[in-house]
A and B are shown apart, each in its own frame.
Chain A
């Protein structure tokens, strides 16, 4: 129905843009990772594997990566634990208030990341709201240190930020489950709890996978929360990259790490997608 001219006009401009601003930059990142930086702080375009050798040999990179993954895993787990029952509640029990509750969940999503991270910083500090509150009601006598400038703070803040993110796909999937399946399950003798585990949960797995992937991937690459709240023990892999592009000036090494992150993320997305398809029944 659509002429070739039409199809060309709609395809070519976005294709060009995407090629120039997405594809080429990734390719450049790939190239950079094989270059090195001279003592004079310029980038030397000689092709070598030094950066990768550095990454494989120095343990600090592996440690940081693993720590980042551990943080990301916890964020994923907690945001699922918070987001799933909420989605279930909204989808199956919220009745007339469903719309209102839904809006209430997505509003924090669009409130600036920075605002929310900052809010936690003011709450968790040693002079912060939480500590002074606890002392005020005599639960503690001095400030709790671990609250801020720790992995705990990073996990807490990122969970706060990504819970709505995990909520969304789970909610979408739950809404798509035909209600007559729930009735059929009850009809056949299953209680609501049994119905959940035997029918609702299996059908919601694609949403869970999508939400979990988001939370994990976005947390893994996060550098702002660690900078604000992580302290020395909360440094994540992206922070290393940031410093390599900043004060530690080693773009090629930074590019190598970024490329590694890109590969990890894309692989995770790929596997997640495959799993989602396997578990999708509608």
Chain B
């Protein structure tokens, strides 16, 4: 088994500087978040070193903050709806890319994947112009449509990768044994895609909850959580934001670790999430 035996340092002992560099990068990635969390408990508010009184005041204020919770509720609605849309259109899109040939397939594939790589502003503005032209009023609905559209790409890439690993013979066997396409889809295809679909759903949900760039342009009267935070930020920093950020961080952490475990169960390790990147970088694969 010479081919992919990774982890064995056949490369010799590791260079010290590589370890130091890795440590530095990890620190760089986590220090800001750590600071955020620490100062959410700081009595003196944000900034000012060293932190002083340990307090839960900011969390108390947070929990009493009704408009914030409204926005959380809005975000949850949006995330859930966007997830439905993204899956409802992303799964067939993956199937289409895997199995069908049709004119404009290459263009279709690129269009589907584009929102992943495009700056959110372009996606947001183009949709804004659409809604403007058809006279639709901006609201949570428009945000849902925006998220759904942007996140179809996530569903498509994840499910597509799962389809590549699917043994075509299973579906052929099902058809051979008398099931029609619809039955085969539900009895054979979908169960095999369970893990990619759940993974995609989790990812879409999380991304939607955090989404701000596209939402920025499609927002109506009701705020989503990121936009509510954004609004307050424009008015000034309060440690309450640290508190809500800490909570967001914890939720993201739990979700992603859970998602990762799911992926590892589905297909060993590595390349996790990278298909999203590879899907856009090398769509011909």
A interface, CB within 8 angstroms of B: 1-3, 5-7, 9-11, 13-15, 17-18, 21-26, 28-29, 32, 82-83, 85-86, 88-96, 98-99, 101-116, 118-123, 125, 127-129, 131-133, 136, 160, 163-165, 168-169, 171-172, 175, 178-180, 182-183, 186, 192, 195, 206, 209-211, 213-214, 217-218, 220-224, 228, 238, 241-242, 245, 251, 254-255, 258, 261-262, 265, 269, 272-273, 276-277, 280
A contact residues around B248 at 8 Å (CB): 111-112, 115
**What's the A-B contact tally at a CB cutoff of 8 Å?**
326
Chain A residue, CB-CB nearest to B101: A7
Report B's interface with A, CB cutoff 8 A: 2-12, 14-15, 18-19, 21-22, 25-26, 28-30, 32-33, 35-36, 39, 46-50, 88-90, 92-93, 95-96, 99-100, 102, 108, 111-112, 114-115, 117-122, 125-130, 132-133, 145, 149, 152, 168, 171-172, 175, 181, 203, 206-207, 209-210, 212-213, 216-217, 226, 229-230, 233, 237, 241-242, 245, 248-249, 252-253, 255-257, 260, 264, 269-274, 276-278, 280-284
A236 to B284 alpha-carbon distance, docked (Å)? 33
Which single member of A95, A122, A180, A241 contacts B39 (CB below 8 Å)?
Answer: A122
Extra 19 A-B pairs, beta carbons < 8 Å, given A115-B245, A213-B281: A3-B181, A7-B99, A25-B130, A28-B133, A82-B25, A95-B7, A103-B256, A111-B33, A111-B253, A122-B46, A127-B47, A168-B273, A169-B278, A209-B281, A217-B117, A221-B118, A238-B121, A242-B121, A276-B281
Q: Which of B30, B115, B276, B281 contacts A273 (CB 8 A)?
A: B281
A residues near B19, Cβ cutoff 8 Å: 89, 93
Smallest Cβ-Cβ distance to B5: which chain A residue: A179
* A105 CA / B30 CA spacing, docked (Å): 9
Contact indicator B47/A128 (Cβ below 8 Å)? yes
Q: Is there contact, CB below 8 Å, between A175 and B281?
A: no
Docked CA distance A102–B257 (Å): 11
> Residues of A contacting B206 with CB < 8 Å?
110
- Inter-chain contacts of B256 with A (CB < 8 A): 103, 106-107, 110
Q: Output the least CB separation between B28 and chain A (Å).
A: 7
* A residues less than 8 Å from B46 (CB atoms): 122, 128
Q: How far is the CA of A241 from the CA of B248 in the complex (A)?
A: 29
Q: How far is the CA of A11 from the CA of B96 in the complex (A)?
A: 5
Going nearest first, the 10 A-B pairs with the smallest beta carbon separation are: A221-B119, A25-B126, A172-B274, A210-B281, A119-B32, A14-B93, A7-B100, A132-B49, A112-B210, A133-B49
CB distance from B10 to the nearest CB of A (A): 6
Beyond A13-B92, A112-B210, whether A241 also contacts B10 by CB under 8 A is no
In angstroms, Cα B268 to Cα A26, docked, is 39
Find chain B residues with CB under 8 A from A210 CB. Answer: 277-278, 280-282
Distance to closest chain A CB from B33 (angstroms): 6
Residues of A within 8 A of B11 (CB): 92-93, 182, 192, 195
- B99 / chain A contacts, CB cutoff of 8 Å: 2, 6-7, 10
Shortest Cβ distance from residue B111 to the other chain A in the assembled complex, whole angstroms: 5
CA distance A277 to B283 in the complex (A): 11
